[in-house]
Chains A and B, each alone.
Chain A
Amino acid sequence: MTVPLLSVRGVRKSFTMHLRGGVHLPVVDDARFDVLSGECVVLGGPSGVGKSSILRMVYGNYAVDGGAILVRHPDASEPVDLASAEPRAIIELRRSTIGYVSQFLRAIPRVAALDVVAAPLIERGRPMAAARDEARRLLVQLNLPETLFGLPPATFSGGEKQRVNIARGFITDHPVLLLDEPTASLDAYNRDVVSGMIEDKLAKGTAILGIFHDEVVRERVATRIVDVSAFSARRAA
């Protein structure tokens, strides 16, 4: 029996808006699903149903009100519960186990696109030259014009930034990869390239959890769709 790399168990999430008179907004209630090695689980359902909130909780970016999010590195015997982990444990999980491609690139001033992409490898101790070679290979694969490699992405178009972001997220071999609409600003050709890159990750055993509004991409990469409406805290309202 395969042990899931990611197991979401009874997770709850709500927001309290203190600046709006303490309005309480329940978003997710009793979310539960597993993601196995080599599987691409897609979070489905209409917008506002809590897909992004779930993804962000799994990355430790949103606080969790209740339940457990068990993340297991393939080499570790025991999973870590991300819902209750100390910040330092989450930092370590992000280094070793969970990668994340956000929808938008948060550009760092003055850092060239090539170095933005190479940074995760350098942080893991890969020599600068080797990390840059790998970054270049990915950016070429994603058809980013070579003239942009040495420039900071702040002035790039949406699609160019997104490709830099994808390259940065795909350059490591994290066993669990979270994708938040990675193809939203891409043309059909580059969507195809990214779909191929996702398939390569799956073939290597990466467990992927993602949000894809693009039907073509979703049809191609999803091994299973989890309907988030079932966990929506607003379903009873």
Chain B
Amino acid sequence: MTSPLLSVRDLTKRYGDRIGCKAVSLDVWPGEVLAIVGESGSGKTTLLNCMATRLEPTSGSVSYRMRDGAMRDLASLGEAERRLLMRTDWGFVHQHAADGLRMRVSAGANVGERLMAVGERHYGQIRDTALDWLGRVEIAADRIDDRPVAFSGGMRQRLQIARNLVTAPRLVFMDEPTGGLDVSVQARLLDLIRTLVAEMGLAVVIVTHDLAVARLLSQRMIVMQRGRVIETGLTDRVLDDPQHAYTQLLVASIPES
């Protein structure tokens, strides 16, 4: 049997007296999509940021299985190692594309920059790969020299995904990737994410407050309330037979579809 790609043990994050998330333990397995759901303020983004080393936990640990197979406590990584990991083996898709893209350089450069971080130097090859990736996220080739400031919200989000996936990461964190988009744009983006994740065999940890997004993309789900994990399980089991009062409330609050 395989071993987990990422393990969180007893992780707590406090902001002064306030609790971000408390005593969370979980594993992420290779190739699976894990959804973290809950309302705003439930601690899901705090947890995601701690997992992705964007926040330092108050206590507890996050470890990751590096490409050489060794499980490393992420707190023990040096800054250079951590940056390399984030630029190559990981992706992070932000809710606001402006947080994940460089808005004043071209679409092609946004994708190419990550390739250069893994050592690619040949300009022609970088451009070819960038073109290929723009195609895979359904951005027309003639937009390669345009800057993302000129893109629509859906296009920016697709570009952010291309930028993250071009280095063939093994783990991608997503924070409300479809938040704030029109429904039709959302459906297209979800379909794209679903297809790419399956094709590349990516592991994904996705934070969403949208249970329909969780159902469509994830195999397993974690429900958070007030910083704690209150229910976990197979996504369809949690949604079709929720056990906890708060999960029942969440499920009962969405219209039948």
Contact = CB atoms under 8 A, between A and B. Distances in A.
B216 A63 contact: no
Given A60-B237, A87-B234, A123-B198, A19 B191 contact: no
A111 B236 CA distance: 20
B234 A91 contact: yes
B240 to A, nearest CB: 5
Contacts of A123: 198
Interface string B193-234: 010001000000000000000001001100000000000111
Judged by DSSP, the binding face of A is: mixed
A111 B191 contact: yes
A15 B245 CA distance: 12
Contacts of B236: 61
Interface string A126-146: 000000000000000000000
Contacts of A18: 244-245, 248-249
Contact of B187 (A15, A56, A87, A109): A109
Contacts of B120: none
Interface residues of B, number: 24
Interface in A1-56: 15-19, 56
B234 A19 contact: no
A203 interface: no
Interface of A: 15-19, 56, 60-63, 87-88, 90-91, 108-111, 123
18 contacts: A16-B243, A17-B248, A18-B245, A19-B249, A19-B252, A61-B241, A62-B241, A63-B233, A63-B241, A87-B232, A88-B29, A91-B32, A108-B191, A108-B216, A109-B190, A109-B191, A110-B187, A123-B198
Q: Which 6 pairs from chain A and chain B are nearest by CB? A: A18-B245, A109-B187, A62-B241, A87-B234, A110-B191, A18-B248
A16 B191 CA distance: 35
B254 to A, nearest CB: 14
Nearest to B244: A18
Given A108-B191, A109-B187, A123-B198, A61 B237 contact: yes
B245 A90 contact: no
A60 B234 contact: yes
B143 interface: no
Contacts of B249: 18-19
Interface in B155-196: 187-188, 190-191, 194
Contact of A19 (B232, B240, B248): B248
